[in-house]
Amino acid sequence: MFAPFVLVLALASVVLSSPLWQRREIRRNADVSLSNWGGFQSLNGFDDFNGVGNFDGSNNVQTVVVQEEQTVCEVQSIEVIQQKLVVLREMVKKVITEQICEVEVQTIVLEQFSSGIGSFSSDLLRQSGRQVGFDSNVASKISQLVNEDGSLSSSDLGFSGSDVGNNTVVAAGSNWNNTTSPSSVQSALTAAQAAAGFVSLPSQTA
Ligand SMILES: *[C@@H]1O[C@H](CO)[C@@H](O)[C@H](O)[C@H]1NC(C)=O
Ligand SMILES: *[C@@H]1O[C@H](CO)[C@@H](O)[C@H](O)[C@H]1NC(C)=O
Ligand SMILES: *[C@@H]1O[C@H](CO)[C@@H](O)[C@H](O)[C@H]1NC(C)=O
């Protein structure tokens, strides 16, 4: 449980000289059960969703669906993209604060959400060995999150965390280049992390 923290301290104590340390590359799923953690009844069955040792869902099987008409990326203005992602972020806050009352449970659920996003980052960097895709069945359920009056629905959406990836769609058309992109995406990540105020620490291959 304390391992990541200890690792951070270990890294922090080394001289700052080498390339950027990437927080997300150090994190790995561990066999930690959170079902009934802290005696919270509301965490009953928590592990059943993704499975123990699959906290972020990155161990899920990905089945890429062959589409009649291939999805191709199509450029939108950056503001439109940012608006969409912020809507999703605010919805995350709404769900967590309106439908969970225990702050400990709110904390655990948010961490699961964040780690799932973190694993997508390593997909984007092509460091995970996973497809860079999304589950189209699950994504299509967004319209079922709210009732007609705008309040959050309480309906069971009929799937488990381990089903995510079963209908993976991979959009074509990205500019990924096996030769040049590994370093250019790393530069992009480093630039963004600098903007986020990440502290640079030396990398150490564990
Ligand atoms: C996963 O997809 C396959 C076919 O694409 C289907 O047979 C199976 O029932 C799906 N499983 C779940 C849990 O959705
Ligand atoms: C990838 O980049 C290299 C180096 O710039 C270039 O020679 C190559 O043609 C590119 N490959 C593709 C598929 O664009
Ligand atoms: C790029 O690398 C991936 C993974 O190694 C490989 O599947 C793909 O065929 C490569 N693409 C090109 C254009 O070489």
The per-residue pLDDT string of the chain (206 residues; one tens digit each, 9 = 90 and over) reads 444 443 443 334 333 333 444 444 567 899 999 999 999 999 999 999 999 999 999 999 999 999 999 999 999 999 999 999 999 999 999 999 999 999 999 999 999 999 999 999 999 999 999 999 999 999 999 999 999 999 999 999 999 999 999 999 999 999 999 999 999 999 999 999 999 998 877 766 55
- Nearest atom in ligand 1 to 65's CA: 5
Which residues contact ligand 2 via a Cβ below 6 A?
177, 179-180
The residue nearest atom 2 of ligand 1, judged by CA position, is 166
Ligand 2 centroid – CA 14 distance (Å): 37
Of the candidates 171, 176, 175, 173, the residue with the CA atom closest to the CA atom of residue 64: 171
With a 6 Å cutoff on the Cβ, whether 63 touches ligand 1 is: yes
73, amino acid identity: C
- Nearest atom in ligand 1 to 162's CA: 13
Residue 28: what pLDDT? 87
- Nearest atom in ligand 1 to 137's CA: 14
- Note the pLDDT tens digit of each residue in 128-140: 999 999 999 999 9
Give the torsion sign (CA, 66, 71, 91, 37). Answer: positive
